[in-house]
């Protein structure tokens, strides 16, 4: 074999064992020596290059054999790079003449077959008593070759490098990587759960709110005094409160019914007409009130002023009974969601009656609150509560104890089955009681399973409505049979989608799928082009 023959297309350097033996015979006939290096070569680092350069200087032709994927036992996730790509990487190096993928646990069989003139090992093997290396050395020397140790003047460890990369990660990123490697959170499993949202019957109970964004030119200081001056450029109005929760459910494929209060005027009729066009059926208690409105004045993406144009509801006893009757009407539903925004539509007693009615009507129930006047502790007996940490601590007047302890007390106080507590930029934690441990006298930590899901967005464009998107998606996921952890992850994904938008817009099943797909694709993964194309086709069809 001439030197030029080993410098062709890199793929031509990668040989099977029978091809390798033919080349070896040719080298002997030409009187040329063969040098062999063997290893994993998962990450080709400077230590590898130095090692290969020294090996190349020991003979005429350098063969690098690498351990096949099935035989690498260096921990979870190893090798990082599949054997075919590791071989291609080595073949691209001008230093390397031949590459062989060894599917055995050691290089012994290959060494006995090719009988190299020189076998190069790292300096660390000079004092290594590993019986596997000892048998390799004996085979080389038995075939007339020599075992030479490289200088070891530059030492790198692929395993140590990979471990250090993991340790240097932001802890939230490291946690996310751990979650994405969980089989229960793989893309297919989560996708099946999201597909199960379709057709689910959902009843959503709560106030309808108008969220108004007034987009303004850059602010100035008023001439008559030290006060902010804003010049409105555009006004955008969004359905908020329970209405956006129902719209989320519809966009995710469910069939929601919104039970709320609406004005007796044309304004109420228009809202009902608009929601119906978006797939939300409306059952409304007609009142004299106008729609509660919350105005936010925005410069760029920064909210600078909020104005609450809210006149609290005041329902008499008959109206309260009528509202509860609306909740009790209709067929049984798969999911019941109650949201209290503290605007007076549901008194403490009415809220408890609504929760009890939903329990009788629905297979799975969930609730959340928003605002200082909302009553989290009156949401009794629901399957899932999704408060923020501030809402949880405020309801319990618990500002010093650990969050898991506060979550446990919430479950005890309300009789809820589980909770997802959101923590803003720190993500969320799913709290799920361990079966059979609720009556234990042991500390709460042994009775409660907590799963942290870090925030999936680097920075929120607009946090408004993130909790509503989480409530809708997590409730649908749990009602569809997803685990508590999977439901929390899907909820975090929906919240992330919402946080990336300005304004209260419905999050669709497709939005959640795409985000989960991007998260999984961001991992260090490899697939052939035809596999990727097939996956894309499948997603387009679904």
pLDDT digits (tens, 9 = 90+) for 205-238: 999 999 999 999 988 888 788 888 999 999 999 9
| pLDDT higher than 60, residue 318 | yes
Place of tokens 């989480």: 470
Q: Are residues 247 and 343 in the same domain?
A: yes
Cα distances (angstroms) measured from residue 405 to each of 196, 334, 410, 420, 522: 33, 31, 9, 14, 35
Tokens standing for residue 103? 């599917």
Q: Are residues 269 and 289 in the same domain?
A: yes
| pLDDT higher than 60, residue 168 | no
Please state the rounded mean pLDDT for residues 224-253: 93
Q: Are residues 50 and 182 in the same domain?
A: no
Q: Are residues 183 and 156 in the same domain?
A: no
Q: What pLDDT score was predicted for residue 534?
A: 47
DSSP state at residue 185: G
Q: What pLDDT score was predicted for residue 538?
A: 45
Q: Are residues 353 and 481 in the same domain?
A: yes
* Three state DSSP letters for 134-145: HHHHHHHHHCCC
Q: What is the dihedral of CA 442, 444, 448, 452, to 10 degrees?
A: -140
Helix (H, G, I), strand (E, B) or coil at 477: helix
Q: Are residues 154 and 180 in the same domain?
A: no
Q: Are residues 7 and 110 in the same domain?
A: yes
Helix (H, G, I), strand (E, B) or coil at 361: helix
Q: What pLDDT score was predicted for residue 186?
A: 92
Task: Give the closest residue to 348 by CA, choosing from 370, 328, 319, 320.
Answer: 320
| pLDDT higher than 70, residue 308 | yes
Please state the rounded mean pLDDT for residues 386-405: 92
Q: Are residues 100 and 188 in the same domain?
A: no
Peptide linkage before 79 cis (omega within 30 of 0): yes
Cα distances (angstroms) measured from residue 333 to each of 50, 199, 329, 359, 529: 68, 11, 11, 10, 44
Rounded Cα distance, 206 and 260, in Å = 5
Please state the rounded mean pLDDT for residues 54-74: 87
Q: What is the dihedral of CA 509, 511, 514, 516, to 10 degrees?
A: -70
| pLDDT higher than 80, residue 375 | yes
Q: What pLDDT score was predicted for residue 180?
A: 87
Helix (H, G, I), strand (E, B) or coil at 387: coil
Q: Are residues 516 and 537 in the same domain?
A: yes
CATH classification of the domain holding 84: 3.40.50.620
Cα distances (angstroms) measured from residue 528 to each of 12, 316, 417: 20, 66, 44
Least confident of 11-20, 70-79, 480-489: 70-79
Helix (H, G, I), strand (E, B) or coil at 289: coil
89-132 residue pLDDT tens: 899 999 999 999 999 989 999 999 999 999 998 777 777 778 88
| pLDDT higher than 90, residue 291 | yes
Rounded Cα distance, 278 and 241, in Å = 16
Q: Are residues 180 and 158 in the same domain?
A: no
Cβ–Cβ < 8 Å for 135, 53: no
Please state the rounded mean pLDDT for residues 290-301: 92
Cβ–Cβ < 8 Å for 433, 448: yes
Please state the rounded mean pLDDT for residues 166-173: 57
| pLDDT higher than 70, residue 437 | no
Percent of the chain with pLDDT over 90: 62
Q: Which residue has the higher pLDDT, 438 or 240?
A: 240
Cβ–Cβ < 8 Å for 469, 503: no
Cβ–Cβ < 8 Å for 52, 62: yes
| pLDDT higher than 70, residue 160 | no
Please state the rounded mean pLDDT for residues 402-428: 93
Burial class of residue 222, CB neighbours in 10 A (0-12, 13-18, 19+): exposed
Q: What pLDDT score was predicted for residue 313?
A: 92
DSSP state at residue 42: S
Task: Report how far Cα 442 is from the mean position of its chain's Cα atoms.
Answer: 32
Q: What pLDDT score was predicted for residue 74?
A: 55
Q: Are residues 481 and 360 in the same domain?
A: yes
Task: Give the closest residue to 477 by CA, choosing from 185, 186, 197, 183.
Answer: 197
Residues in CB range of 388: below 8 A, 6 or more apart: 421, 422, 423, 424, 467
Least confident of 166-170, 433-437, 460-464: 166-170
Cα distances (angstroms) measured from residue 243 to each of 337, 341, 368, 469: 12, 12, 14, 11
Q: Which of 164, 183, 198 finishes a domain?
A: 164
Task: Give the closest residue to 515 by CA, choosing from 494, 534, 533, 541.
Answer: 494
CATH classification of the domain holding 473: 3.40.1190.20
Q: How confident is the model at residue 2 (pLDDT cuts 50, 70, 90)?
A: very low
Burial class of residue 121, CB neighbours in 10 A (0-12, 13-18, 19+): buried
Helix (H, G, I), strand (E, B) or coil at 443: coil
Q: Which of 105, 129, 164 finishes a domain?
A: 164
Mean pLDDT of the chain: 86
Task: Report how far Cα 520 is from the mean position of its chain's Cα atoms.
Answer: 8
Tokens standing for residue 490? 């899907």
Task: Give the closest residue to 365 by CA, choosing from 212, 247, 525, 475.
Answer: 475
Tokens standing for residue 36? 């062999």
Other residues' Cβ atoms within 10 Å of the Cβ of residue 33? 15
Q: Which residue has the higher pLDDT, 179 or 209?
A: 209
Q: Which of 108, 136, 164 finishes a domain?
A: 164
Q: What pLDDT score was predicted for residue 535?
A: 44
Rounded Cα distance, 253 and 69, in Å = 42
Number of structural domains (the chain) is: 2
Q: What pLDDT score was predicted for residue 12?
A: 85
| pLDDT higher than 90, residue 307 | yes
Q: What pLDDT score was predicted for residue 8?
A: 53
Rounded Cα distance, 337 and 386, in Å = 11
Total length of the chain? 542
Q: Are residues 234 and 190 in the same domain?
A: yes
Task: Report how far Cα 122 is from the mean position of its chain's Cα atoms.
Answer: 40
| pLDDT higher than 60, residue 88 | yes
Q: What pLDDT score was predicted for residue 11?
A: 64
Please state the rounded mean pLDDT for residues 342-365: 95
Task: Report how far Cα 387 is from the mean position of its chain's Cα atoms.
Answer: 20
Does the reported pTM lie above 0.75?
Answer: no
Cα distances (angstroms) measured from residue 324 to each of 172, 207, 239, 341, 364: 43, 14, 23, 17, 18
Q: Which domain holds residue 93?
A: 3-164
Q: What pLDDT score was predicted for residue 165?
A: 52
């Amino acid at each position: 074999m001439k030197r030029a023959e080993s410098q062709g297309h890199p793929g031509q350097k990668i040989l099977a064992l029978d091809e390798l033996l033919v080349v070896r015979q040719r080298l002997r006939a030409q009187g040329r020596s063969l040098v062999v290096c063997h290893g994993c070569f998962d990450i080709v680092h400077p230590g590898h290059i130095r090692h290969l350069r020294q090996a190349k200087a020991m003979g005429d032709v350098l063969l690098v054999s690498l351990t096949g994927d099935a035989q690498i036992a260096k921990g979870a996730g190893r090798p990082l790079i599949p054997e075919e790509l590791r071989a291609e990487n080595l073949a691209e190096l001008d230093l390397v003449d031949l590459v062989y993928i060894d599917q055995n646990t050691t290089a012994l069989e290959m060494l006995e077959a090719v009988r190299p003139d020189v076998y190069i090992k790292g300096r660390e093997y000079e004092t290594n008593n590993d019986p596997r290396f000892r048998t390799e050395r004996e085979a080389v020397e038995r075939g007339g070759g020599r075992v030479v140790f490289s200088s070891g003047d530059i030492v790198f460890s692929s395993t140590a490098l990979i471990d250090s990369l993991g340790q240097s990660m932001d802890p939230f990123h490291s946690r996310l990587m751990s979650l994405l490697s969980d089989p229960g959170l793989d893309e297919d499993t989560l996708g099946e759960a999201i597909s199960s949202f379709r057709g689910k019957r959902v009843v959503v109970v709560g106030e309808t709110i108008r969220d108004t964004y007034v987009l303004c030119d850059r602010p100035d200081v008023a001439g008559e005094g030290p006060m902010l001056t804003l010049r409105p450029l555009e006004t955008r109005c969004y359905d908020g409160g329970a209405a956006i929760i129902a719209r989320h459910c519809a966009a995710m494929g469910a069939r929601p019914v919104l039970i709320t209060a609406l004005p007796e005027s044309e304004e109420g009729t228009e809202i009902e007409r608009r929601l119906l066009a978006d797939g939300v059926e409306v059952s409304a208690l007609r009142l004299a009130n106008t729609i509660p409105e919350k105005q936010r004045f925005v410069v760029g993406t920064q909210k600078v002023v909020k104005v609450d144009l809210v006149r609290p509801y005041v329902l008499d006893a008959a109206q309260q009974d009528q509202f509860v009757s609306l909740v009790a009407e209709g067929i049984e539903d798969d999911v019941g969601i109650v949201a209290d925004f503290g605007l007076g539509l549901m008194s403490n007693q009415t809220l408890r009656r609504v929760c009890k009615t939903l329990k009788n009507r629905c297979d799975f129930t969930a609730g959340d609150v928003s605002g200082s006047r909302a009553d989290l502790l009156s949401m009794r007996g629901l399957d899932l509560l999704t408060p923020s940490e501030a809402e949880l601590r405020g309801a319990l007047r618990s500002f010093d104890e650990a969050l898991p302890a506060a979550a446990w007390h919430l479950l005890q106080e309300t009789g809820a089955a589980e909770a997802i507590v959101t923590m803003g930029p720190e993500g969320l934690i799913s709290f799920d009681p361990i079966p059979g441990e609720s009556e234990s006298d042991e500390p709460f930590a042994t009775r409660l399973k907590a799963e942290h899901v870090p925030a999936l967005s680097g920075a929120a464009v607009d946090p408004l409505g993130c909790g509503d998107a989480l409530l809708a998606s997590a409730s649908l996921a749990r009602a569809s049979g997803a685990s508590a952890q999977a439901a929390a992850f899907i909820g975090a994904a929906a919240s992330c989608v919402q946080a990336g938008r300005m304004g209260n817009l419905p999050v669709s099943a497709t939005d959640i799928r795409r985000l989960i797909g991007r998260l999984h694709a961001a991992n260090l993964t490899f697939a052939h082009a035809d596999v990727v194309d097939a996956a894309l086709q499948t997603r387009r069809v679904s």
